[in-house]
Amino acid sequence: MKKIRVWDPLVRVFHWSLVILFTANAFFVDDESKLHDAIGYAVVALVLMRILWGFLGSRYARFSSFPPSLSGATGQLTEIATGRKRIHVGHTPLGALMIYNLLATMLLIGLSGYLMTTDAFWGLKWPEELHEACVTWAEISVVLHILAVIYESARTKVNLPRAMVTGYKEFRVE
């Protein structure tokens, strides 16, 4: 077994904090409450911090280590379809697309939520509709992300959830 430190503490704290805060706001906190607003602002702050860390952070946290790539995603889908198992130390190409999707979606949720509190957009339907559509998209994306992590963990024999807790990926050396 080969053990590689992949996820630094900031990436892991960001990930699990976002999980907790998004889940709380989407399913448990009254969306008319000040707590809902505060959690929303905390999510936006987390995402902005993660974006900054994507330029300044450790090797696998940097956006340059997982650029969005349709050809890479297609290649990964081909690997899956043909039964090949390429191990990715950092994010996979499909995982990278999901990360960019979720970061952008969280920012849109925060922006549309903020717009609903301003005088200029007070009472208009479209900010609320955008907000709700983005939350629904985020929920769908999260479910797809979880299913993909479970599938890829089983397919590649790399425990991805454990890596996001410990920071280390363990690979079988063949």
Tell me the residue ranges of DSSP E strands in 104-166.
none
| pLDDT at residue number 123 | 87
172: number of CA atoms within 13 Å, CB side? 9
Consecutive H or E run containing 170? strand 168-171
| pLDDT at residue number 171 | 87
Neighbour-count burial of 100, counting CB atoms closer than 10 A to its CB (0-12 exposed, 13-18 middle, 19+ buried): middle
d(C-alpha 107, C-alpha 43), whole Å = 8
| pLDDT at residue number 13 | 98
Residue extents of the structural domains in the chain: 2-171
Per-residue pLDDT in tens (0 to 9) along the chain, 174 residues? 899 999 999 999 999 999 999 999 999 999 999 999 999 999 999 999 999 999 999 999 999 999 999 999 999 999 999 999 888 999 999 999 999 999 999 999 999 999 999 999 988 999 999 999 999 999 999 999 999 999 999 999 999 999 999 999 998 876
| pLDDT at residue number 136 | 98
CATH architecture of 2-171: Up-down Bundle (1.20)
- The two tokens of residue 4 are 């590689």
| pLDDT at residue number 132 | 97
| pLDDT at residue number 172 | 82
Cβ within 8 Å of residue 62, ≥6 positions away:
54, 55, 56
Tell me the residue ranges of DSSP E strands in 1-110.
2-5
Which pTM does this prediction carry? Answer: 0.94
